[in-house]
Chain A
């Protein structure tokens, strides 16, 4: 990395820092009531782990797609190996 690039990266990071400092001053803190809903959901499911309640509950479709990603990885590696 040459000197000019270093200066540009420094200026870029400085601008970002100033931007966030100004923006964070106007941030309004909001209490999320969804946490109470998720706690109720664990009671309905008869489990204690709220993380499981979310990723196997409302986000089950997302979890399924993650599983498909892993399967596709195996396919991809096999494909590349066969081509090599």
Chain B
């Protein structure tokens, strides 16, 4: 049987491009408010990278519980910010848009926080969806 680790393309993709793809996904969600991108795209890129890694090296990076916790944390952050907005302005998705800074990333801290929450939620979900579609050897 052909060992997937013998493939030079996959080796290069994973070992050389791994840190750059992670940085790119962080860049996408961090600079979402000022350039094209956002939490959804960044989450899908990060999740796909973890999936490729797990497929090639046939081992899990962190357990399912870890990703589930991160997934629910993302939803919780969005819910809490929405409820704080409700408390301040009276509308469910109403407030917290006033936290401005001069830095590029935190030009609007609330939008950065929302992008971050969406990023961790989507990345974890993508990984969990993939893991539920395959069967690991230790599960059998």
- Taking beta carbons and an 8 Å cutoff, which residues of A are in contact with B? 44-49, 51-53, 55-58, 60-61, 63-64, 66-68, 70-71, 73-74, 77-78, 81
Contact = CB atoms under 8 A, between A and B. Distances in A.
Contacts of A52: 32-33, 38, 111, 115
A56 B115 contact: yes
B92 interface: yes
B33 to A, nearest CB: 4
Is chain A's binding surface mostly helix, strand, loop or mixed?
helix
A21 B76 CA distance: 50
Interface stretch (B5-13, B16-24, B50-58, B117-125): B117-125
B93 interface: yes
Nearest to A70: B125
B101 to A, nearest CB: 8
Contacts of A45: 33, 97, 108, 111
B80 to A, nearest CB: 12
Contacts, number: 76
Contact of A61 (B38, B93, B100, B122): B93
Contact of B35 (A49, A56, A71, A77): A49
Interface of B: 32-36, 38, 40, 71-72, 74-75, 78-79, 82, 92-93, 97, 100, 107-108, 111, 114-115, 118, 121-122, 125, 128-129, 132-133
B74 to A, nearest CB: 7
A49 B71 contact: no
Contact of A48 (B33, B78, B114): B33
A46 to B, nearest CB: 4
Contact of B132 (A57, A60, A68, A78): A78
Given A70-B121, A70-B122, A78-B132, A64 B33 contact: no
18 contacts: A45-B33, A45-B108, A47-B107, A48-B35, A49-B36, A52-B33, A52-B111, A52-B115, A60-B93, A66-B40, A67-B74, A67-B78, A67-B121, A71-B71, A71-B125, A74-B71, A74-B128, A77-B132
Given A61-B93, A74-B125, A49 B133 contact: no
